[in-house]
Amino acid sequence: MKNRNGIRTEINAFYRSKVIGWLADHIRDEKATPADFPVHLYLGAPQTEEEIQACLPEFKNFCEDWKQPLSSGHIETQDKDVEGLGRVKVPLHLVFDTPEDIATWAGHLVEYRTSVERLEIIAKQTPALIESALDVISSITNLDANDFIRFVEVTKWILENHEKHSLIRQIPVRGVDTRWFEIHRPLLLDYLRDKLQLNPKRKDLLQFGLIPPPAIIRVTVLDHVIRNKVGGMRHFATTAEELEKLQLKPQRVVFLDNIATSLTLPDIPGTVLIITPTSSLAEICKVSWVANARTQYLGSIDLKSFAILHNLRIYLPRLESVLMDEATLLENQDLCTYDDPSVLESIPSALTIDEQILCKSMADGLYSPGIRLDQERIPLESICRALGAKLDKSALENREDVFLDNDDEE
């Protein structure tokens, strides 16, 4: 015999297994009540006099319990003469006439009504997405009211503009920004996957026709003649597309990871420094005056920098490494730290034999687990010597004034 509290788990499981079908009937076929209603849930009442007498106190409580008012649904009973109790209305079924009745018992009435309301809005605004909406209706229902409005407007915009290659900033929906997209990207991908035939293995927004802002590349021009082509600027930042337009044509381009180092190096004829971007390597390496120059990479001596070296060589096969060797590591062991968290699944294939040996030795902990020599800890004199420059300390002191923070002066 089922009491009110015990039956809720059963009703909740039944609701979860059927709710998508009920919503689909409501939206697709415009049925106010699905065809499988009313639903009769058997309450487990004993059928024979013998069974009743074997549990008479429990049976009496069972009948009294189901006499009390219900929040929804109604009880189907059968009149029965029971020895010791007289004429009794025996509860047979808890009957639900609508999905809302079941949702009330399952504790999901607000959720169900919200699902219905939001599916009706989607059916009106973007009818082509109604099947996808049913697939992810739980997530759509969980959106707060403002985010749901944004969600509908954004999906409409994507359907109309996914071939235009726009920035997120160009989406004319109030409250939508990069952060909003990061939060809702998984739901958008699931929701639009079938309609836009998205690749299920990809998680990027490029599939929506949304492009990221171009990477900003930091450049230091160490040649005074080349500086004349950029208005005399020694340090500037721009996009790869704009760099192509400059046509600087240096003899050498050095990729450097550390901004402080680039700001303190003296002039070196024919040389331009580029701070290694964390993304868009292909774009910067395809800039014609970069691809046609002698290229070098001066990174830290750690596993991450060897991975960057590998990635650069994919696009610039003749690129040379500078000070990324065992001799530099051993000469500066007192400057090393032992906090490299990087892990390599395999040794990068674009490294030279010597670079591979050093990289593998570091990965295996030959010199000490987690060892790394950060580029900024390598003596500036060693870097200047490796790049064929002479460190002019007086010029460096004068240049430091340019970067001095006004607050520090006070």
Q: What is the rounded average pLDDT of the residues 50-78?
A: 86
Q: What is the pLDDT of residue 232?
A: 94
Tokens 């240049």 identify what position? 399
Confidence of residue 127 (pLDDT cuts 50, 70, 90): very high
Could you please report the per-residue DSSP string of 187-223? HHHHHHHHHHT--TT---GGGGTB-PPPPPEEEEE--
Q: What is the pLDDT of residue 392?
A: 65
Spell out the domains of the chain, with CATH numbers in brackets.
4-107 (no CATH), 110-208 (no CATH), 217-409 (3.40.1360)
Tokens 């160009």 identify what position? 170
Tell whether the model's pLDDT for residue 63 goes beyond 70: yes
Q: What is the pLDDT of residue 51?
A: 82
d(CA 69, CA 214): 65
Tokens for 317, please give them.
Answer: 């096969």
Furthest C-alpha separation in the chain: 113
Give me the residues paired with residue 90 across strands. Answer: 78
To the nearest whole percent, how much of the chain has pLDDT over 90? 68
Q: What is the pLDDT of residue 230?
A: 94
Q: What is the pLDDT of residue 398?
A: 53
- Rounded to the nearest 5 degrees, what angle is found at the Cα of 41, between the Cα atoms of 38 and 47? 125
Q: What is the pLDDT of residue 393?
A: 62
Q: What is the pLDDT of residue 403?
A: 47
Q: What is the pLDDT of residue 48?
A: 81
pLDDT digits (tens, 9 = 90+) for 16-54: 999 999 999 888 877 678 888 899 988 888 888 888 888
Q: What is the rounded average pLDDT of the residues 280-288?
A: 92
